[in-house]
Amino acid sequence: MCGIVGYTGHDKAKDIIIDGLKKLEYRGYDSAGVALMEDGGIQVRKKAGGSGTGGIANLEKAVAKEKFRATTGIGHTRWATHGQPSDVNSHPHASYDGEIAIVHNGIIENYRELKDQLEKKYGIEFVSDTDSEVIAQLIRVLYDGDLEHAVRKAVKKMEGAYTFAAIAKGEPEKIVAYRKDTPLIAGIGKDCNFIASDMTALLQYIDDFYLIDNGEMVVETPDRIKILDPAGKEVTREPLKVTWNQEDAEKGGYSHFMLKEIHEQPKAVQETVSRRIGKDGKIVLDGIKLTLKDLKKFNKICIVACGTAYHAGLVGKYVIEQMARIPVEVDVASEFRYRDPFVDDKTLFIAISQSGETLDTLMSLREAKGKGARILSIVNVVGSSVARESDDVFYTWAGPEIAVASTKAYTTQLVCLYLLALYMADLKGTITREYYDEILSELKAMPARAKRVLKKADKIEEMAKLLYNRDQIFYIGRGIDSSLAYEGSLKLKEISYINSFAIAAGELKHGTIALMEPDTTVIALATQDRLFDKMYANVEEIKARHAHIVSIAKSGNKKIKKVSDDVITIPKCRDEVTPILSIIPLQLFAYYIARERGENIDKPRNLAKSVTVE
Ligand code: G6P
């Protein structure tokens, strides 16, 4: 959700922190701020975003002419939970006397109670509507010249999810940070040290970093990083190497991260597949230790995820059931957590998450773990919470995904699910070696085929120019295509704000067809040879209502042209693997529509990339 950056060293903290915040803007961009240790005091500057500008752009403008000498400071980019986006509700929050400043990611659930106590007992007047201000005021009243002690005492009184960093006027070169539920890393610089919500913020400054665990505190000065466990005991830990490079987190000539990430899909898919093929041409699942004995024990698989990752899970259900013949349930994490699911030690629980930090997914994982399930996760961010709490981890290796609308993470999640399904099916003997080889060679062919689909970008851009003013756009499909319909529709609504609805095509006649009229736009996914005649009939039904139809079909499909206003084709391939290709036109369509409408594509309103609150 929110992003935190801290720096203590010998260079100008303001520039380094603002630069780091820009890299974390995908975590939230309602507002941004910095607190700098300047001339024996703490200077706080913070700004809310306005229409068309994020908080960081406004902050940067506000401090452009200020020449701070500070070499220690903390910064924040916010996705508002308590208190609307405004200058005063932005972080950092300072204590009533300016002695302490903090930045916070998460929610302090008992903040009203703490606020009441601080108001009554100490007469503190709060200035913001946020829960986070409580942290600064609480640390202040507990502070006796030692920030580390004050933070330790303060966290004992807080409830909820709270990762925060604090600085104290009296200790000018020190940052104390604490992790509870939302991510935190400590970056190792040269004569300087950093803290950040994730390594994307620090790619140009560090090669190594420490992952901070839940309940741990980090105390940093320019020459030292001290990690303390919940009991206050110093922990020794091996640093991790940064695996992403700076260019991966930059736009590289593209107008938006989303467009860049769409175009990175051939490379990402290549990376995901090629790492998993052994010398004998068979799948090697690094990070997964599933044996035939394990598989025989599982009587079902629960796939749990949110947003785009959930849609990948829907495809996963088709392929795992079809290939490995194990029943699969797919749930959105926010529902799974509260439906008292039937999960036990015979369940394989698969969490899918790009960030590995989505709170609902993480909590569902814990729920399943508590009931004895084996936990496997498909995750992009190495060392993230979901990854660390899983028994087996399958990394997507998609590289950093910055745009809020997920693209390359989705395609690589699909590839992981295919590899997993094939691997399990092979172990169980539910498929032939020929079928195994065929699907594997389809997967290996995907990067080249995806490049061919990307070449249709101009055509899709033209289509978008024609359709960008529509009020609503429907997505329909059958079988595996219906899962794609959901993802295509989500892409469109999240970045273009066009009302969009996805439905299994066969279900149209049970209600939704009532909405079809001239001018209604329908994106029809018709890539499944097996179901083509049924799908064709559904498209004919809506054509009869004079809807405008754009179909996605396999190359060479002449029939679909008869009932479509436009057709985008994907290269011929087996029905099972079409999703890896057919999502690309849908992503491009959403992108170009949003661009025609002049929307803020990488940072759509009200959304954040990593949702670490319920
Ligand atoms: C947010 C993002 C979506 C993403 C979802 C799940 O809603 O905006 O793009 O699909 O979270 O995120 P995860 O990191 O768990 O895949």
Report the nearest-CA residue for atom 5 of ligand 1: 307
Ligand 1 centroid to 400 CA: how many Å? Answer: 13
End-to-end CA separation in angstroms for the chain: 11
| Catalytic residue selected from 22, 408, 491, 609 | 609
What number does the ligand 1 atom closest to the CA of 494 have? Answer: 8
The reported pTM is 0.84
Q: How confident is the model at residue 518 (pLDDT cuts 50, 70, 90)?
A: confident
295's enclosing H/E stretch is: helix 292-297
Classify 254 as helix, strand or coil.
coil
Q: Please report how many Cα atoms fall inside a 13 Å half-sphere around the Cα of residue 7, on the Cβ side.
A: 27
Any catalytic annotation for residue 302?
no
Output the six-digit token pair for 540.
């004919």
Output the six-digit token pair for 292.
């035939």
Any catalytic annotation for residue 192?
no
Q: How far apart are CA 395 and CA 49, in angstroms?
A: 35
Q: Which of 29, 315, 354, 492 to mutate to test the pocket of ligand 1 (most atoms within 8 A of CB)?
A: 354
CB-CB contact of 187 with 239 (8 Å): no
pLDDT at 51: 52
What number does the ligand 1 atom closest to the CA of 358 have? Answer: 15
DSSP assignment of 82-150 equals SS-S-TTTSSPEE-TTSSEEEEEEEEETTHHHHHHHHHHHH-PPP-SS-STHHHHHHHHHH-SS-HHHH
Q: What is the mean pLDDT of residues 255-273?
A: 96
Residue closest to 497 by CA, chosen among 594, 564, 406: 594
User: In whole numbers, what is the pLDDT of the chain averaged over residues?
Assistant: 93
- Residue that is written with structure tokens 């607190």 in the block: 35
Ligand 1 centroid to 507 CA: how many Å? Answer: 27
Residue closest to 138 by CA, chosen among 126, 107, 220, 333: 126
Q: How buried is residue 600: exposed, middle or buried, by Cβ count under 10 Å (0-12/13-18/19+)? A: middle
Neighbour order of strands in the sheet with 185-188: 41-48, 31-38, 72-78, 3-8, 193-196, 185-188, 208-211, 240-241
Beta strands in 250-312 (DSSP E): 300-305
Q: Which of 311, 362, 609 to mutate to test the pocket of ligand 1 (most atoms within 8 A of CB)?
A: 609
Q: How far apart are CA 586 and CA 443, in angstroms?
A: 20
Buried/exposed 532-563: b ≥16 CB within 10 Å, e otherwise: beebbebbebbbeeebbbbbbbbeebeebeeb
Q: How confident is the model at residue 328 (pLDDT cuts 50, 70, 90)?
A: very high
Q: How far apart are CA 231 and CA 582, in angstroms?
A: 52
Report the nearest-CA residue for atom 4 of ligand 1: 307
Helix/strand/coil percent split, the chain, to 5: 40, 25, 35
Cβ neighbors of 595 (< 8 A, separation 6 or more) are 255, 256, 464, 601
| Catalytic residue selected from 2, 306, 416, 573 | 2
Neighbouring CB atoms inside 10 A of 467's CB total: 20
Q: Cis omega (within 30 of 0) on the bond before 172?
A: no
Q: How far apart are CA 233 and CA 189, in angstroms?
A: 24
The radius of gyration of the chain's CA atoms, rounded to the nearest angstrom, is: 25
Q: Is the pLDDT of residue 576 over 90?
A: yes
Query: Could you give the percent of the chain with pLDDT greater than 70?
Result: 99
CA 156, 157, 160, 162 dihedral sign is negative
Ligand 1 centroid to 385 CA: how many Å? Answer: 14
Report the nearest-CA residue for atom 3 of ligand 1: 307
Q: Is the pLDDT of residue 614 over 80?
A: no
pLDDT at 247: 78
Ligand 1 centroid to 318 CA: how many Å? Answer: 21
Q: Please report how many Cα atoms fall inside a 13 Å half-sphere around the Cα of residue 279, on the Cβ side.
A: 0
328's enclosing H/E stretch is: strand 328-332
What number does the ligand 1 atom closest to the CA of 307 have? Answer: 10
Output the six-digit token pair for 539.
């498209």
Per-residue pLDDT tens over the stretch 32-80: 999 999 988 999 999 887 655 677 888 988 898 899 999 999 999 987 7
Which amino acid belongs to residue 394?
F
The set of protein residues with a Cβ atom below 6 angstroms from ligand 1 is 306-309, 353-355, 358, 361, 404, 406, 607, 609-611
Q: What is the mean pLDDT of residues 556-563?
A: 94
Classify 327 as helix, strand or coil.
coil
What number does the ligand 1 atom closest to the CA of 406 have? Answer: 9
73's enclosing H/E stretch is: strand 72-78
Helix axes 307-324, 408-428, angle to 10 degrees: 20
Output the six-digit token pair for 430.
């539910």
Per-residue pLDDT tens over the stretch 313-326: 999 999 999 999 99
Ligand 1 centroid to 250 CA: how many Å? Answer: 20
Ligand 1 centroid to 52 CA: how many Å? Answer: 23
Per-residue pLDDT tens over the stretch 169-197: 999 999 999 999 888 999 999 999 999 99
> Which of 612 and 175 is assigned the larger pLDDT?
175
Query: Could you give the percent of the chain with pLDDT greater than 90?
Result: 78
Per-residue pLDDT tens over the stretch 391-444: 999 999 999 999 999 999 999 999 999 999 999 999 999 999 999 999 999 999
Ligand 1 centroid to 414 CA: how many Å? Answer: 15
Ligand 1 centroid to 354 CA: how many Å? Answer: 7
Q: Is the pLDDT of residue 30 over 90?
A: no
- Residue that is written with structure tokens 């018709």 in the block: 526
Q: Is the pLDDT of residue 105 over 60?
A: yes
Output the six-digit token pair for 116.
């009441």
CB-CB contact of 330 with 280 (8 Å): no
Q: What is the mean pLDDT of residues 118-125?
A: 96
Q: Is the pLDDT of residue 209 over 90?
A: yes
What number does the ligand 1 atom closest to the CA of 405 have? Answer: 9
What number does the ligand 1 atom closest to the CA of 305 have? Answer: 15
Neighbouring CB atoms inside 10 A of 275's CB total: 12
Q: Is the pLDDT of residue 246 over 90?
A: no
418 backbone dihedrals φ, ψ, rounded to 5°: -60, -45
Report the nearest-CA residue for atom 7 of ligand 1: 307
